[in-house]
Amino acid sequence: MPSTISKSAFVSGFWAGLPFIAVGVPFSLFFGIIATEAGLSVAQAMGFTIVVIAGASQFTAVQLMIEAVPVWSVLAAALAVNLRMAMYSASLQPHIGAAPLWQRMLCAYINFDASYAISMARYEQDPPMSVSEKVGYFLGSVSLMTPLWFLGTYFGAVFGESFLGSFDVTFAMPILFLALVAPMVKTLAHLAAAVTSVVATLALSFMPSGTGLLVAALLAMIVGAEIERRRGR
């Protein structure tokens, strides 16, 4: 079981993850702003972002807090949105499951959408990568984004709307996910799963926060797996 991390793979991952900072940093600033507007102190906003470290569930929770919904609803919705990380972890296990516990725990903590997608794409392109190289690449892909996410939240919480002015960052999330997912759609099963997730998400938009997305993800996985089965793979 490898105890070291491949430095060359770490550097490669660093460069691969660099472009996504352009989206991640503005969103961390935006979270700091809306967190303080929702009534959180700077310390509470920072604690939130350090402990949860998951943008989608953080925004979901804060939005519900602004709407003054019950605490249990806030927690349930944030958990539902973040359950996608369980699927990420399951698909990462064959690649880094043999790594030391501390490496797996670190990867689990900084498992962003970007780091997962970037790493999985590289693993598929280069199957012979060792566990040490795979862990190094994963950590490298998010090595700069993680501290910048914390710093962005802090500056957003301290300086508020004056920090971003009139700049609207809400358009960036769809672009980020398209950039992450598009290169991974390589087979009919991938395409069918992607289309199913989009259609199901729109059709189930009436469901409570986060639950429709989870159902859509489950349906997409079933469709993709069934197509793979029928093709004898």
pLDDT in tens, 80-97: 777 778 878 888 999 999
Domain boundaries, the chain: 7-169, 185-233
At 33 the pLDDT is: 85
Q: How far apart are CA 109 and CA 220, in angstroms?
A: 26
Amino acid 211: pLDDT: 67
- Cβ 107 vs Cβ 137: under 8 Å: no
CB atoms within 10 A of CB 51: 9
Number of Cβ within 10 Å of residue 210's Cβ equals: 20
Which DSSP string corresponds to 63-110? HHHHTT--HHHHHHHHHHHHTHHHHHHHHHHHHHTTS-HHHHHHHHHT
Cα separation, 156 vs 32, whole angstroms: 4
Q: What pLDDT does residue 165 have?
A: 56
Angle separating helix axes 188-203 and 211-230, nearest 10 degrees? 150
Which residues of the chain, if any, have pLDDT below 50?
1
**153, 24 in Cβ contact below 8 A?**
no
DSSP state at residue 187: S
Report the pLDDT value the prediction gives residue 1, as an integer from 0 to 100.
45
pTM exceeding the 0.75 threshold for the entire prediction: no
